[in-house]
Amino acid sequence: MTGGCGFIGANLVPRLADDGIAVRVLDNLSRGTRDNVQDPGVEVIEGDIRDEDVLAAAVADVDTVIHLAAYGSVAESVAEPRENFDVNVRGTLYVLRAAVDAGVDKLVFASTGGAIMGNTPPPVDETSLPWPISPYGASKLCGEAYCHAFAGSYGLRVVALRFANVFGPMSEHKKGAVTNFVKSALRREPITIYGDGTATRDFLYVDDLCEGIAAAVEAPLSDEVIHLASGEETSIGELARHVAALAGADDLPIRYEDRRPGEIERTFAKAERAAELLGFRPAHTLVDGLRKTVDWFAARTSERSAGGAARP
């Protein structure tokens, strides 16, 4: 698993380990930390996906590669499009090439839903025309194209999963609305919204996402693109109100700033194909997932205030 020490990997590794799957992680630790992988049976290799020697060692004797490593922020991709391309496109090409050279059977690619679709009128599905408006979305579309090309040219089985906006525990270093809103609410600081709050997203709790990824690992699929999404449209303003209420800060002020370039206005996806091919059905409502997320962040804050060692 590339990027296994990051937010999603930290939740996915124990999910796979519980199924008795031997997991090896490759991570450059630029965003994640080794502390996020607590299972002593999980091998962690520190290195970059663009280092071909390290990558070759990481995929040796592996049946399936889950490729999570990415330069994953829309705003950062606008500021640094070359670095975004280098990690997400060149890095993905290297991962695919290494997988073929090592005789890997399947590669599961972490793509994106909203960013890859741009301002396509929602709801979107796998038949919608991708039209990214950010370098991040474009890089993930390139990754999907290379996955499809490697399936056709080299016989590598690939599944590209288009993630909705994922949130949940272990997301302390994630750059996204839920993390920023929760941190602000717990500090009793104003919540900052870029735009007027009417922009919408499809939010998916991380445990539900991990179930979808685990299903994709096991499913007999050869060359697929699948949306993993809640199928529900939630405005950023509504999200902020939910977070404030769950943090016990209903009267927290909201500060509005200019909309950021590259951010889409509306998005949510239909997940019928995920249900058909993977048996995917999210078990958490938005509020259920937000409650667990706020509780996790509150516990981290409490531990640090007490001077204890924060648990991952």
User: What is the tens place of the pLDDT at every residue in 232-289?
Assistant: 999 999 999 999 999 999 999 999 999 999 999 999 999 999 999 999 999 999 999 9
* Residue 140 belongs to a domain: yes
Check whether 56 has a pLDDT greater than 60.
yes
Task: Enter the pTM of the model.
Answer: 0.95
Rounded CA-CA distance 213/203 in Å is 16
At 252, phi and psi to the nearest 5?
A: -65, 130
* Residue 78 belongs to a domain: yes
* Residue 241 belongs to a domain: no
Active site residue 136: yes
Rounded CA-CA distance 19/124 in Å is 32
CB-facing half-sphere around the CA of 115: CA atoms within 13 A: 26
By CB atoms closer than 10 A (0-12, 13-18, 19+), residue 132 is: buried
* Residue 209 belongs to a domain: yes
* Residue 294 three-state SS: helix
Catalytic residue among 71, 94, 136, 146: 136
- The pLDDT value recorded for residue 308 is 53
Number of domains within the chain: 1
Domain interval for residue 143: 7-167+202-232+268-284
Max CA distance (Å), the chain: 57
Rounded CA-CA distance 281/275 in Å is 6
Q: Residue type for 252, please?
A: L
Q: What is the pLDDT of residues 294-312, one digit of tens each?
A: 999 999 888 777 765 444 4
* Residue 57 belongs to a domain: yes
- The pLDDT value recorded for residue 301 is 85
* Residue 263 belongs to a domain: no
Whichever domain contains 156, its CATH number is 3.40.50.720
* Residue 123 belongs to a domain: yes
- The pLDDT value recorded for residue 113 is 96
Q: What is the pLDDT of residues 69-113, one digit of tens each?
A: 999 889 999 999 999 999 999 999 999 999 999 999 999 999 999
Q: CB–CB of 74/262 below 8 Å?
A: yes
* Residue 311 belongs to a domain: no
Averaged pLDDT, 34-47: 93
Q: Residue type for 48, please?
A: D
